[in-house]
C-alpha cells in the first residue's frame, strides 16, 4: 500500500520549541477498523499508522465510505468494529469537511474571528492580514460569507487552517473545486504543516493533482 510518488527533500526535525517531537512518533494507529451503514460493513477492516510529519491518503471511489471513515477518525461518528488510537490530544485535530462551517450571514472576518476563538487561538491581526492577501481574499473581508463563491469559501476554510494549525489535519477531498492557484495553496499548506511536525490525513477518489509523498490507504469495498 506504500506508493510514494515523489520524494520531497528531507526535512530537518522541526525547530518548534515544545513539545519536541521525534519524526518517527506515531500519531494515530488504526487496527482493523470497520464502519457500518445500515448494519452492513462498508469496507474491509483497515489498519494503518500515521506518523508525525507524514501524509496518509485514503483512496476510494465515491460511496465506499471515505467521508465516513474520516469523520470516524475525527470522532464525529462511531466505528463498528476494530479500534483506533490517537496519540495526540483531541484539541490538536482539525477537520475540514465538504461544509466548512461557514455562517453565510456573517462576514468573512467575523467567521474567522469566531472560528479562531472557538479553536482557542489568539487573534493575530498581522497574520490574518497576510493570510487574506496570500489566499486572495482581500476586499471581501466585510462581505457576508454567503456572497462568496464556492472557491472563495474553500479558501477561507484553508485560511483558518493556516491561522489555527493544530497538529493533525483531516481533510475531506481538499483539492476538489479548486483552481490551479487554490491547488497550489493547499499543497503549500500541507508542506508547511508537515515541515512543522504535523500530519495530514486526506481523502481522494482519484490521483492527487500535485505530487505529494503519501501513504496510500485504499478502501476495499465489501
Contact status: 87 vs other proteins (CB under 8 A): no
| Contact with other proteins (CB under 8 A) among 4, 16, 61, 91 | 91
Residue bearing cell 490507504: 217
Instruction: Give min distance, CB of 15 to other proteins, in A.
Output: 24
- Kind of pairing between the strands at 26-34 and 46-51: antiparallel
Give yes or no for residue 19 binding other proteins (CB under 8 A).
Answer: no
Of 71, 140, 155, 193, which one interacts with other proteins (CB under 8 A)?
Answer: 71
CB of 159 or CB of 208, closer to other proteins: 159
* 69: exposed, middle or buried (Cβ count in 10 Å: 0-12, 13-18, 19+): buried
Read off φ and ψ for residue 81, nearest 5 degrees: -130, 160
Contacts for 180 with CB less than 8 Å, ≥ 6 apart: none
Residues 25-44 that bind other proteins (CB under 8 A): 36, 38-39
Judged by CB under 8 A, the number of residues near other proteins is: 32
State in angstroms the smallest separation of the CB of 120 from other proteins.
5
In the bound complex, what is the minimum distance in angstroms from residue 163's beta carbon to other proteins? 14
**Ramachandran sector of residue 197 (left: φ over 0; alpha: ψ -120 to 50; beta: rest):** left
- Residue 63: φ, ψ to 5°: 90, -10
* DSSP 8-state symbol, 107: B
The residues binding other proteins (CB under 8 A) are 36, 38-39, 71, 74-78, 90-91, 93-95, 97-106, 110, 114-115, 117-120, 144
Amino acid at each position: 500500500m506504500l506508493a510514494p510518488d515523489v520524494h520531497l527533500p528531507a526535512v530537518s526535525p522541526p525547530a518548534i520549541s515544545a513539545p519536541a517531537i521525534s519524526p518517527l512518533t506515531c500519531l494515530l494507529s488504526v487496527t482493523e477498523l470497520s464502519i457500518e451503514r445500515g448494519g452492513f460493513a462498508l469496507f474491509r477492516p483497515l489498519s494503518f499508522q500515521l506518523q508525525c510529519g507524514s501524509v496518509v491518503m485514503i483512496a476510494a471511489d465515491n460511496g465506499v465510505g471515505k467521508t465516513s471513515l474520516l469523520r470516524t477518525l475525527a470522532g464525529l461518528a462511531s466505528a463498528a468494529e476494530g479500534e483506533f488510537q490517537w496519540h495526540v490530544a483531541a484539541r490538536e485535530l482539525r477537520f475540514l469537511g465538504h461544509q466548512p462551517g461557514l455562517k453565510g450571514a456573517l462576514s468573512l472576518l467575523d467567521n474567522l474571528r469566531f472560528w479562531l476563538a472557538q479553536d482557542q487561538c489568539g487573534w493575530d491581526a498581522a497574520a490574518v492580514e497576510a493570510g487574506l492577501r496570500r489566499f486572495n481574499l482581500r476586499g471581501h473581508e466585510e462581505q457576508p460569507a454567503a456572497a462568496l463563491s464556492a472557491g472563495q469559501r474553500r479558501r477561507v476554510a484553508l485560511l483558518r487552517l493556516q491561522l489555527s494549525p493544530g497538529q493533525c489535519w483531516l481533510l475531506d477531498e481538499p483539492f476538489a473545486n479548486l483552481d490551479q492557484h487554490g491547488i497550489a495553496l493547499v499543497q503549500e499548506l500541507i508542506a508547511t504543516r508537515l515541515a512543522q511536525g504535523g500530519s495530514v490525513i486526506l481523502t481522494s477518489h482519484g490521483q492527487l493533482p500535485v505530487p505529494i509523498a503519501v501513504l496510500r490507504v485504499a478502501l476495499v469495498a465489501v
